[in-house]
Structure 1
Amino acid sequence: MNVIDTLPEPEKLKKLLKILSSLNIVLCTEEWLRYHRFVSEFDKNVSLASIDNGSGDDLFIIFAPQGTIIKGFDHESEISPYARDEHEVWPGIYEEVPTSLLSFLEDEAINKDDVTFCFWRENNDLTWQKGKVEIPAGAEDGSDFLLGTIFGTAEDFVEFAEGYFEITLPLEIIAKVYEGAAITKEMIEALNPDGDVEKILRELTELDS
């Protein structure tokens, strides 16, 4: 199955990315080291989720009144602009993206031209969309790899955290967060005994604002 067909509906995706960001806030004091981030007020009525693996690959997802747009960059992909002599975006990635959504990628924090795939969904779309991109045989655009870091289950997150944060997390607490439970002081102390509980709670409040 194509990875685009496995993407959740925008609202479900947004909820999931906020959960991932909240867990990163709890587990990682240094914001720049967090794998998943979420900015509730990136712009007026616009939210921004981002994923950065610290190895040169990233994913930006913008939730706006007009719809949702996903821009991913796999720095090792054969269709990366850096793999091309003219350093241009691979043909077809942006050509069919609605202007109302594409304009959100102009923010300098997003590095619009660092891209190997782009998916989008306007409010009236029933499915996720992508441009007519022809990828050479044997090449990858990084979408399987990067969208696979949007961990859909508590079990997947616990496995990820063990490798990335080098900690073993209690599955029952992570499962509660995935089920929508608010993160409490007691949960923070169980997940990150050395964390600044008050600071973490403030950040979690900002996330939900």
Structure 2
Amino acid sequence: MLQMESPALDAISTKNLNSMPEVLALKKLLQSLAMLDAIMSPEWDERFYSFNSNWGDNEQMGSMRNGCGDDFFVLFTQDGCFVKGFDHESAMSSWSTDGQVPWPDLLKGLPSEFIAASKEPAFSMDNISFCIWKLHTADFWGKGDFEFAVDEDPDGSEYLLEIFDCNPETYRVFALEYYEVDLDVATIAKFYNHLPLTDELVKEVNSEVTLKQLDKDILEIGYPGVDAT
């Protein structure tokens, strides 16, 4: 399992949802991560992060798969945002329950607007260790009404959601460990701020990739191109 540096005491997790970004900021971040990964890895199968800006009618979806069995899926709808995560080694993993079902009451209190998302086959809902959500009409991120397992990171959310801190340094550490490339934090910040792509910016990330090669990825991710205003 790929692990990053030790998180801060106020790290994002299901025990600390106050540090979660707002829905629109999260969508922007996931688009940025997907665009960076598309440049870092022209081969889709080797990417960590992806984003589909045309997942469904008025729906977008960001995801992470680490190749070791862990993942998260983030669905953006007209109603808000639904996040499903899976750390297969966590104490609250569905792999640790009878019948490979969610931890007891993990989804208790899920708004009706997200019921369909909780049954979406593409999200591999049999593989789950945590779930959080936020309606646009709500002031806070929510989670189920359940008892945590006794463990430092019982559901793996602190581990999997670390990248949600919107700090370019966190992606720099990830890229150094996963791609073995030490990116300039200032370059990563340009993506986090959604600066339009240019050949020059692309080559700051990967000198072997051109803007033209990224046409399909840019369209799928919905990241701003050079002509964006």
- TM-score of the superposed pair, with normalisation by structure 2: 0.85
> Structure 2 regions of 5+ residues with no counterpart?
1-9, 224-229
Q: Is the aligned partner of 1:204 residue 2:218?
A: yes
Q: Is the aligned partner of 1:129 residue 2:142?
A: yes
Q: Aligned equivalents of 1:20 and 1:60: distance in 2?
A: 14
Q: Aligned equivalents of 2:217 and 2:149: distance in 1?
A: 44
Q: What amino acid is the match of 1:103?
A: A
Q: Aligned equivalents of 1:136 and 1:206: distance in 2?
A: 38
Deviation of residue 143 (structure 1)? 0.8
Deviation of residue 113 (structure 1)? 2.2
Which of 123, 128, 148 is the matching residue for 1:110? Answer: 123
Q: Aligned equivalents of 1:16 and 1:116: distance in 2?
A: 22
Q: Could you say which structure has the greater relative contact order, defined with CA pairs below 8 angstroms and 6 or more residues apart?
A: 2
What's the counterpart of residue 156 of structure 1?
Answer: 170
Q: Aligned equivalents of 2:165 and 2:205: distance in 1?
A: 18
Moved over 6 A (4+): none
Deviation of residue 151 (structure 1)? 5.1
Counterpart of 2:159 in 1: which secondary structure? helix
Deviation of residue 180 (structure 1)? 2.4
What's the counterpart of residue 120 of structure 1?
Answer: 133
Q: Using the TM superposition, name which of 51-60 and 191-200 deviates more.
A: 191-200
CA deviation map 1:61-87 (0-9, x unaligned): 100001111111110012222112332
Distance change (3 Å), C-alpha of 1:81 and 1:171: closer
What's the counterpart of residue 86 of structure 1?
Answer: 99
Q: What amino acid is the match of 1:143?
A: S
What's the counterpart of residue 158 of structure 2?
Answer: 144
Q: What amino acid is the match of 2:68?
A: S
Q: Is the aligned partner of 1:184 residue 2:192?
A: no
Q: Do the aligned residues in 1 keep the contact of 2:133 with 2:142 (CA within 8 Å)?
A: yes
Q: Aligned equivalents of 1:171 and 1:202: distance in 2?
A: 26
Q: What amino acid is the match of 1:156?
A: T
Q: What amino acid is the match of 1:208?
A: G
Deviation of residue 95 (structure 1)? 2.2
Which of 69, 91, 106 is the matching residue for 2:82? Answer: 69
Q: Do the aligned residues in 1 keep the contact of 2:203 with 2:210 (CA within 8 Å)?
A: no
What's the counterpart of residue 5 of structure 2?
Answer: none
RMSD, aligned CA: 1.7
Q: Aligned equivalents of 2:192 and 2:163: distance in 1?
A: 15
- TM-score of the superposed pair, with normalisation by structure 1: 0.92
Q: What amino acid is the match of 2:203?
A: E
CA deviation map 1:18-49 (0-9, x unaligned): 11111111111111211111110111000001
The 5-angstrom pairing of residues 169-180 of structure 1 reads 169-180=183-194
What's the counterpart of residue 37 of structure 1?
Answer: 50
